[in-house]
Chains A and B, each alone.
Chain A
């Protein structure tokens, strides 16, 4: 069996979470996905704070990050990740509804690794998420500090 790497999904909208997860599930990629529901939670996870105090060490192999979220939004999360010496090596993929140019520009300025616009068409969405999952969870070799899934 192919080794799956852990992916952190940061998404405030439960429907999107559900669609994303079901898309990943369709391809058996959902097992090692950690979901955080907003930016604050995502940062807590990454810094092993609050509810994630007890989680094992190691960074996710990739972060799928929504842009527009309550509390701390995606761009802020991205900024913090990319300015943190320990975190900046984690590949971050923006997975968002926004096609706004300024979001694109800002994301890339902050060092995002990929920017994917969520298609309205569900089948396209499924394809996009599947490809993301395959790429980041299977094909891409993450930085050494990443968490390896336990067999």
Chain B
């Protein structure tokens, strides 16, 4: 602004000049200008204001007014004003001058503003220019860098691709091609889905997209498929790229094939796993103790051996876990191994905190980490050894004390062992026997020798319960039974023979006695059988006589009584006639009794036939016959469900005949008799029944019904011999069945009998 001020100062000075110039020319050319006093001074004021602005204009106007007023307005050289015209012209002039000044002042200010603007803009432009130049420089630098980065990306070993926000691949590097086998043409414009293997599920991809669409970096392992179909594992990082507005525009995916790394890792893991598994599943307990005495590893067997879970021990110091262990031998051995780096082994009896003991075989190996302790629980082995010793002891005692005689011969047949029982059996002593040949004490020395040697050679089977005669030292002989057991070594070679010798003198005696007794018994059986057979014959003869001889006189009694009646009936009085009648009736009754008894006897004796019996047919034919015999009586027969059974037809016919005739007989007082015959299939048997509505019986006497000659009615009430139901029971019993009855006085009776389905005969 200093500069402007100076210019401004010069302007004001220069503004004086135009009025002076105008005064000069007016003075010169006054004659020509006259009377226009102000003519030249208008331009002068204009120039003064032009040069000096407001101040310059006003200065010029002032000077001009004074000059004109003084020199040209008449009266010249005075300031007097004669005419109003002059005052007016002066006023116009001054007004004009002020106008010019104002005008130029404004003009100048406007100009100045313009200039300032121009200057400012210029400065701005200069600055912009400079910045542009700088930017240009920078850009060229960035481009260089970009090129560098692109080259780097292209050259990167990792497969890289860039997608737009939808996942369409825009760019990929050669490593991608190399990794996936997809060419650029396959890749650009497609999506990474071309490499999907299907090993990841939808959730996986959803999670991936959710992550990157939120603008976060996704990193993960993914199994993809190469163009040739091979699967590979890659580690992929997807970075979202945002524009300056913060919108996600692209994704950059960097992938690394880690298949090999995975395989290597797997291999290592497997190997580790295998070693660990081996250790875990070893039959030996395995413990690793660090150089600081802390447990590093224990397998499951070690848990058992320690009787503590590994979780309790791991990381803890050995001596803290087993208080008092430091004073023991095992600790000394462990320390020696740990400090001197030497392998150790020992058998150790370990006392557990609960006071129980266990035997362990320990092997200790130094390893870089510390020491490995392998332990085997030999408690059982120790116990077995102990038991074995006890068992041997027991066996030796048993061998010696056993009541049976034992000896053992060696491969040559010499006594190596002999027990007390055998010594006392032969009446000898151990000193006399041991070392001698086994056949020295037998009655048949040569034969025995051959046999023993043959058994030892394996050419003759060992004796098992063979009877021999041995000779005692005193010369008497004893019967014995011997049982051999060949003794073999591990290879199976016969190395001896062990023999149990049993004195069977008592047995022999008992056997003889039994044989005698048996013979006697047999004789007795024969005799008894003969007696029975004779009795049977007698019985048959008896029944034959009954059948034949007893019937004849009865027939004669009846016959001659009848003849007497015919001959002399008229001359007999009523009493005499009744006597004759009674004689006849008694004879007939006895005949019936004999007949029935014979049938009863025959039913017990005759051989049963086994056939299929149609009971329905039997019953129907009996009904037909009986109905014929009892014409005039009203009998309702109800027959239902009669099966075929296995049995003797004629016997069963007799059963039904007895029962039906009974039913008819005992229902005689009924105006209308009702007789029901049926069968129920129950418990593997046919339960037949014959029921009537007759006079029935008192259940108190039911047990008598089936007895021989047992009757529940008097002869003058109902005729009969009392054999019928006894016969039924006998026949049914022979068929393996049972008989029973139900009834009540005046309420009818029902007789039941069963026939088992499985055919069996009882006598």
Q: What's the interface size class on A, roughly?
A: 20 to 34
CA distance A122 to B554 in the complex (A): 10
Q: Identify which of B183-191, B356-364, B393-401, B559-567 touches chain A.
A: B559-567
Contact among B555, B560, B563 with A97 in the assembled complex (CB-CB below 8 Å) = B555
- Looking at chain A's contact residues, the main secondary structure is loop
Contact among A19, A97, A122, A123 with B551 in the assembled complex (CB-CB below 8 Å) = A97
The residue on B at minimum CB distance from A20 is B559
Chain A residues whose CB sits within 8 angstroms of the CB of B449 once the complex forms:
none
CA distance A100 to B544 in the complex (A): 7
**Pair B547/A120 contact, Cβ less than 8 Å:** no
**Pair A122/B559 contact, Cβ less than 8 Å:** yes
**Pair B555/A99 contact, Cβ less than 8 Å:** no
**Pair A16/B558 contact, Cβ less than 8 Å:** no
Contact among B551, B556, B588 with A15 in the assembled complex (CB-CB below 8 Å) = B556
**Pair A120/B562 contact, Cβ less than 8 Å:** no
CA distance A15 to B558 in the complex (A): 11
Q: Does A68 contact B (CB under 8 A)?
A: yes
Q: Does A112 contact B (CB under 8 A)?
A: no
**Pair B598/A120 contact, Cβ less than 8 Å:** no
Among residues 104 to 122 in chain A, which have CB atoms less than 8 Å away from a CB atom of chain B? Answer: 118-122
CA distance A71 to B554 in the complex (A): 24
**Pair B556/A19 contact, Cβ less than 8 Å:** yes
Q: What's the least CB distance linking A114 to chain B, in Å? A: 18
**Pair A97/B561 contact, Cβ less than 8 Å:** no
Q: Does B303 contact A (CB under 8 A)?
A: no
Q: What's the least CB distance linking B595 to chain A, in Å? A: 7
Q: Indicate whether A99 sits within 8 Å of B562 (C-beta atoms), given known contacts A68-B548, A118-B551.
A: no
**What is the 8 Å Cβ interface bit string for chain A, positions 72-99, against chain B (1 contact, 0 not)?**
0000000000000000000000001111
Q: Does B587 contact A (CB under 8 A)?
A: yes
The residue on B at minimum CB distance from A98 is B548
Chain A residues whose CB sits within 8 angstroms of the CB of B602 once the complex forms:
101
Most buried by A among B552, B587, B606: B552
**Pair B606/A122 contact, Cβ less than 8 Å:** no
Q: Does A22 contact B (CB under 8 A)?
A: yes
CA distance A19 to B552 in the complex (A): 11
CA distance A41 to B151 in the complex (A): 158
Chain A residues whose CB sits within 8 angstroms of the CB of B606 once the complex forms:
101
Chain B residues whose CB sits within 8 angstroms of the CB of A100 once the complex forms:
543-544, 547-548
Contact among B555, B562, B592 with A16 in the assembled complex (CB-CB below 8 Å) = B555
CA distance A125 to B563 in the complex (A): 12
**Pair A119/B555 contact, Cβ less than 8 Å:** yes
Chain B residues whose CB sits within 8 angstroms of the CB of A19 once the complex forms:
555-556, 559-560, 563
Q: Does B167 contact A (CB under 8 A)?
A: no
Q: Does A13 contact B (CB under 8 A)?
A: yes
Q: Does B584 contact A (CB under 8 A)?
A: yes
**Pair A120/B544 contact, Cβ less than 8 Å:** no
Q: Does B74 contact A (CB under 8 A)?
A: no
Chain B residues whose CB sits within 8 angstroms of the CB of A121 once the complex forms:
558, 584, 588, 591
Chain A residues whose CB sits within 8 angstroms of the CB of B559 once the complex forms:
15, 19, 122, 125
Q: What's the least CB distance linking A79 to chain B, in Å? A: 19
Q: Does A4 contact B (CB under 8 A)?
A: no
The residue on B at minimum CB distance from A15 is B556
**Pair B552/A16 contact, Cβ less than 8 Å:** yes
**Pair A125/B555 contact, Cβ less than 8 Å:** yes
Q: Does A8 contact B (CB under 8 A)?
A: no
Contact among A13, A22, A68, A120 with B588 in the assembled complex (CB-CB below 8 Å) = A120
Q: What's the least CB distance linking A19 to chain B, in Å? A: 4
CA distance A119 to B556 in the complex (A): 10
**Pair B544/A98 contact, Cβ less than 8 Å:** yes
The residue on A at minimum CB distance from B543 is A100
**Pair A118/B547 contact, Cβ less than 8 Å:** no
Q: What's the least CB distance linking B598 to chain A, in Å? A: 7
Q: What's the least CB distance linking B601 to chain A, in Å? A: 11
**Pair B548/A67 contact, Cβ less than 8 Å:** yes
Chain B residues whose CB sits within 8 angstroms of the CB of A119 once the complex forms:
555, 591
Chain A residues whose CB sits within 8 angstroms of the CB of B556 once the complex forms:
15-16, 19
**Pair A120/B587 contact, Cβ less than 8 Å:** yes
CA distance A68 to B544 in the complex (A): 10
Among residues 524 to 563 in chain B, which have CB atoms less than 8 Å away from a CB atom of chain A? Answer: 543-544, 547-549, 551-552, 554-556, 558-563
CA distance A111 to B598 in the complex (A): 26
Q: What's the least CB distance linking B566 to chain A, in Å? A: 9
Chain A residues whose CB sits within 8 angstroms of the CB of B551 once the complex forms:
97, 118, 120
**Pair B548/A122 contact, Cβ less than 8 Å:** no
Sample of 14 A–B contacts (CB below 8 Å)? A16-B555, A97-B551, A98-B544, A99-B598, A100-B548, A120-B554, A120-B555, A121-B558, A121-B591, A122-B558, A122-B559, A122-B584, A125-B555, A125-B558
